[in-house]
Chain A
Amino acid sequence: MGLAANRPPGRADGSFKRRAMSPPTPPPAVRSHRIALTLGNRLGPAAAVFAGGLFGSAARTGIGYWSPTSPGGFPFAILATNLVGSLLLGFYLARREQGVSARWSLQFWGIGMLGSFTTFSAFSLDVVHLVQDQRTLTAVLYVFASLVGGLGLALVGERTGMVLR
């Protein structure tokens, strides 16, 4: 009864014009759908980062576990991890720019997996330990190898990703 009375004046074919200034109030079903969508858009990428992060940190932890750095030794494990991670991230991003990629693939591969596979904090701690042990030359070598190697391999990865079909 009430609904019919509130309806804007209809036309002969049953359609009616929306009044210019009437604010569109979404029906409840649409509103809950919108909330679910917003939640999904917020949680989905975070879940993708977490899932990728599981693989990345498992691989890094595994490498460190199987080839531990001897006290005062050269930190080969972190160096290799950071170099390989930079190469793969360059490759992945170049491939991604080449064509379509799945939803949240950047969050999974780039930010989650390769982001957490490589690490800056452990790299810094390695440098601090080497300097503490008076192995300054090794520290300089380690920093140099990490930065030059990381930049170079990231470039190689990007170029390879762009050339591949």
Chain B
Amino acid sequence: MTLLVATLAGAAGAVLRYVVSGVVQRRTRSGFPLGTLTVNLSGAFLLGLVAGVDNLESSTTLATAAFLAGFTTFSTWMIETLRLGPSPFRLRPIANLLITLVPGVILCAAGYSLTN
């Protein structure tokens, strides 16, 4: 039952990611992958908020966490980072790594401490 709910929630999160990152990417018209950045940062903050409530022990917070896990993505972040330069050891790929990683972890911790 939990598996089924988590699966459905994750797929719904994927659809919202597709919509949000598409809209952001079109609006900003940036060569930088700002759509993926937006979903990953907001998703990390929201998961921190949800996890702070009860450490994902109730079925409601667990389903929300599954939704947010599907909403954010790691693989697209990696691929888009690679495509920013001829090698990962250039300014733009490294900037894309740091601009997601550092604020993402900080926002997640901030969300967690807000509700915990």
Contacts and interface: CB of A to CB of B under 8 A. Distances in A.
Given A65-B3, A121-B46, A82 B88 contact: no
Contacts of A163: none
B44 A120 contact: yes
Interface stretch (A12-20, A25-33, A86-94): A86-94
Interface in B1-27: 3, 6-15, 17-19
Contacts, number: 169
Contacts of A88: 75
Given A60-B69, A61-B7, A121-B72, A154 B78 contact: yes
Contact of B14 (A65, A90, A116): A116
B43 interface: yes
Interface of B is mostly: helix
Given A54-B11, A62-B3, A116-B13, A121 B75 contact: no
B34 interface: no
Contact of A121 (B6, B7, B40): B40
Nearest to A47: B15
A125 B47 contact: yes
A128 B14 contact: no
A57 B11 contact: yes
Residue among A112, A117, A123 with the highest chain B CB neighbour number at 10 A: A123
Interface string B45-57: 0111001000000
B76 interface: yes
Contacts of B72: 119-122
24 contacts: A46-B18, A52-B14, A53-B15, A54-B7, A56-B11, A56-B70, A57-B14, A65-B3, A86-B79, A89-B78, A90-B78, A116-B14, A119-B73, A121-B44, A121-B46, A121-B71, A121-B72, A122-B69, A124-B48, A125-B51, A128-B108, A150-B77, A151-B81, A154-B82
Given A53-B13, A54-B10, 4 more contacts: A85-B74, A112-B11, A116-B11, A120-B43
Interface of A: 45-46, 49-54, 56-58, 60-62, 65, 82, 85-86, 88-90, 93, 107, 110-112, 114-125, 127-128, 131, 143, 146-147, 150-151, 154-155, 158
